[in-house]
Amino acid sequence: MALKPISPLSASHTLGRGQGGALARTSSYQEEIHEFTEERAARCIMPDEMSRPLIQGRGEGGSSRHLEATMSDPATPVVGILGTGDFSRSLASRLVASGYQVVVGSRTPKRSVALFPEEAEVASQMEAASQADLVFVAVFPEHHSTLVDLRPALAGKTLVDVSNSLHINQKGPSNAEQLANLFPESSVVKGFNTLSAWTLQVGPRDGSRQVFLCSDSPTAKSSVAQLCRRMGFIPVDMGLLSASLEIENIPLYLFPSWRIPILCTVSLFIFFYLYNATRDVLQPYTTVGKSVFYKLPIETVNVTLPSVALVMLALVYLPGLCAASLQLWSGTKYNRFPNWLDRWLTRRKQFGLCCFLCAVLHAIYSLCLPMRKSARLKLLSTAFKQMKEGKEELWVDEEVWRMELYVSVGIMAFGLLSLLAVTSLPSVANTINWREFTFIQSTLGYCALFMATLHTVLFGWNRAFDPGQYRYYLPPTFLLVLILPLVVLLGRIALFLPCVALRLKQIRRGWERSRHIRFILPDNDNRNGLEDVSNV
Ligand code: NAP
């Protein structure tokens, strides 16, 4: 007698989750026992059968495989996946590895069966929808509407929408909200869309571990969160399904907070590069016919990089000064800053890191300068020329001192910038308290700005007063570069003046010029630091 294959998925459903009632469950249970006894008997007759693996291989031309009941834990839900694409395959492997029973629903199960792990069952979409308790919809959102026939089978179940859109959706509705409209009797959970198929395949040890979830059904959301944890990921509750638009947009953003800082860095680089090239390369060529185009790849870049770095560092501290000035001017901290200032204040870290990148490149370029053949030849020819002119001593005390101080201050500035960059990393910033963070980012940051400014002043030295430096009537680059940092440093000094500092401190603790409330700094006799004098 040919043995009928046992489908533990359907068995467990009939037994534990079936809708047929106690009677139906009893009769189907008896059938199962009967079949099981027959199978045991057959195995006794055919000992070879004992060597077969518990989990069946793919049958010849079979379109679907069935899970063995042995692995099932009655508390473990059967997880369904609709779609057999890249995401579905990776998700199925991860779920199987986490001990779940998986049933994959395909329009063409026969074609897709070979792509899935042995332990997963590949069936029709209807079979998968009816067998599973929780269903992942791994189908592009354009095709969600083709699944409406599954509505009765999916009623009362949890649907996980993993879809992403092609473009950032600003207005909504989100894919998940549209799916919820298509399946009003199911509970839709948005999630897993921020994980790539690759991350799912290699597991949570590599790549992002966070999974953002949202749903209008707390029960559905918590069951998906539990599944998430069992797979080794960290669920992050984002609230109701209305948050799904934000979750769907996450993978589509292209460095949103970096756009302006990068644009600023690139624009400054282009400006200073062209400015330096005009002064140092074009001017000698057009006036005396001297070709120094070889300077363009290294020397010109190396003069441009510190210029960009210093201006960018000044741009980190300038918005803070603007905010303080606005507060002093309006006499309150409760007026909203203009949008541009708000955005600038929140991008200071990115400005700082762009500055750090330029400083690192400047340090590397500077270390490589003496390695160049042009530098060695220039040195030799200068020495040769000096000898021909009968000068033996090349030592100029002032030049030596200038250079020593210039390099030393530059190294200090670079060290402080490195400290600022390291403490801006979230993992490091989380280990220090707010006061420590502001001490490093503000006090040491201003020290870095001061050192970098001094580095530039020492570079320029007395060349600002040399008329030969004003080629094409253009001032030397270091003079242009110094304007903004000097403004910021002087502004900071102005804020240190006791009358200004005290007023700013009062404003930041809630004092307002236009209100009839006298502000007193808190002390033991005064509970809130505020004294109502509105009757005065
Ligand atoms: P895919 O490889 O193209 O697979 C999509 C699957 O959808 C097909 O294999 C197909 O399986 C099924 N499907 C069902 N109805 C369909 C229809 N009417 N027309 C076309 N296909 C239909 O796509 P994927 O990369 O796995 O992505 C699936 C979903 O996961 C998408 O919503 C995507 O945004 C999301 N996602 C993917 C990734 C990723 O890294 N790939 C990451 C995050 C999110 P059958 O032919 O077997 O039915």
pLDDT of residue 207: 62
CA 481 from chain center: how many Å? 32
Question: Distance between alpha carbon 487 and the CA centroid of its chain, in Å?
Answer: 33
What average pLDDT score do residues 86-111 get?
96
- pLDDT at residue 52 tops 80: no
Q: Is 476 in the pocket of ligand 1 (CB under 6 A)?
A: no
Q: What type of residue is 363?
A: A
Amino acid at 233: F
Q: Which of 86, 93, 112, 168 for a ligand 1 pocket mutation test, highest count of atoms within 8 Å of Cβ?
A: 86
- Does the pLDDT value for residue 169 go beyond 70? yes
Question: What pLDDT shows up at residue 202?
Answer: 83
Q: Distance between CA atoms of 235 and 190, rounded to whole angstroms?
A: 12
Which three-class secondary structure string do you get for 290-307? Answer: CCCHHHCCCHHHHHHHHH
186 touches ligand 1 (CB under 6 Å): no
State whether residue 517 is helix, strand or coil.
strand
**CA–CA separation, 322 and 413 (whole Å):** 24
| Dihedral angle over CA of 461, 467, 468, 474, nearest 10 | 90
The answer to whether residue 528 scores a pLDDT higher than 80 is no
Look at residue 374 and tell me whether its pLDDT is greater than 70: yes
pLDDT of residue 201: 85
Q: Does residue 517 contact residue 533 with C-beta atoms inside 8 Å?
A: yes
Burial readout 148-165 (b: 16 or more C-beta within 10 A, e: otherwise) = eebeebbeebbbbbbbbb
Residues 22-38 have a mean pLDDT of 40
Residue 18 DSSP symbol: -
pLDDT digits (tens, 9 = 90+) for 138-155: 999 999 999 999 999 999
Burial class (CB within 10 angstroms; exposed 0-12, middle 13-18, buried 19+) of 221 = buried
State the average pLDDT for the chain: 85
Does the Cβ of 154 fall within 6 Å of ligand 1? no
CA distances from 75 to 32, 42, 151, 219 (A): 20, 31, 25, 15
Query: What pLDDT does 19 receive?
Result: 36
Average pLDDT of the segment spanning 96-111? 95
Q: What is the mean pLDDT of residues 455-465?
A: 92
Evaluate whether 96 touches 154 at the Cβ level (below 8 Å): no
- What are the pLDDT digits (tens) for 309-355? 999 999 999 999 999 999 999 999 999 999 999 999 999 999 999 99
Question: Which tens digit of pLDDT belongs to each residue from 219-259?
Answer: 999 999 999 999 999 999 999 999 999 999 999 998 889 99
Q: What is the reported pLDDT for 485?
A: 98
Pocket probe for ligand 1: among 89, 104, 139, 150, the residue whose CB has the most ligand atoms within 8 Å is 139
Mean pLDDT of 350-367: 97
Q: How confident is the model at residue 17 (pLDDT cuts 50, 70, 90)?
A: very low
pLDDT at res. 321: 97
pLDDT computed for residue 206 by the predictor:
64
- Res. 536: pLDDT tops 60: no
CA distance 133 to 227: 12
Give the residue whose CA is nearest to atom 22 of ligand 1.
139
Q: Is 164 near ligand 1, meaning CB less than 6 Å away?
A: yes
Whether residue 61 has pLDDT greater than 70? no
- The residue behind tokens 């996980």 is 160
Residue 476 CA to residue 495 CA, distance in Å, equals 30
Lowest mean pLDDT among 8-17, 129-138, 365-374: 8-17
**What is the H or E stretch that residue 530 is in?**
strand 530-532
Asked if residues 335 and 471 have their Cβ atoms less than 8 Å apart, the reply is no
Atom of ligand 1 nearest to the CA of 125: 48
pLDDT cut 90: percent of the chain above it: 70
Predicted pLDDT of residue 459: 94
For the chain, percent of residues with pLDDT exceeding 70: 82
Closest CA to 227 of 107, 95, 32: 95
Helices (H), 296-396: 299-330, 339-346, 348-368, 373-388
Q: Which residues contact 64 (CB under 8 A, 6 or more apart)?
A: 109, 113, 121, 122, 123, 127
Q: How much is the average pLDDT of 351-364?
A: 98
Question: SS3 helix, strand, coil % of the chain, rounded to 5?
Answer: 60, 10, 30
- Count CB neighbours of 392 within 10 A: 7
Q: Which residue has the tokens 């395949």?
A: 201
Band the pLDDT of 394: cuts 50, 70, 90. confident
Q: What pLDDT does residue 534 have?
A: 37
DSSP class of residue 243 equals: G
Order the strands of the 101-106 sheet from edge to edge. Answer: 121-124, 101-106, 78-82, 134-137, 158-161, 187-190, 210-215, 234-237
Contact 335, 326 (CB under 8 A): yes
What is the pLDDT, as a whole number, of residue 442? 95
User: Which residue's CA is minimally distant from atom 17 of ligand 1?
Assistant: 143
Mean pLDDT of 294-313: 97
pLDDT by residue (tens digit) across 268-297? 999 999 999 999 999 999 999 999 999 999
Nearest atom in ligand 1 to the alpha carbon of residue 139 is 7
72, pLDDT greater than 90? no
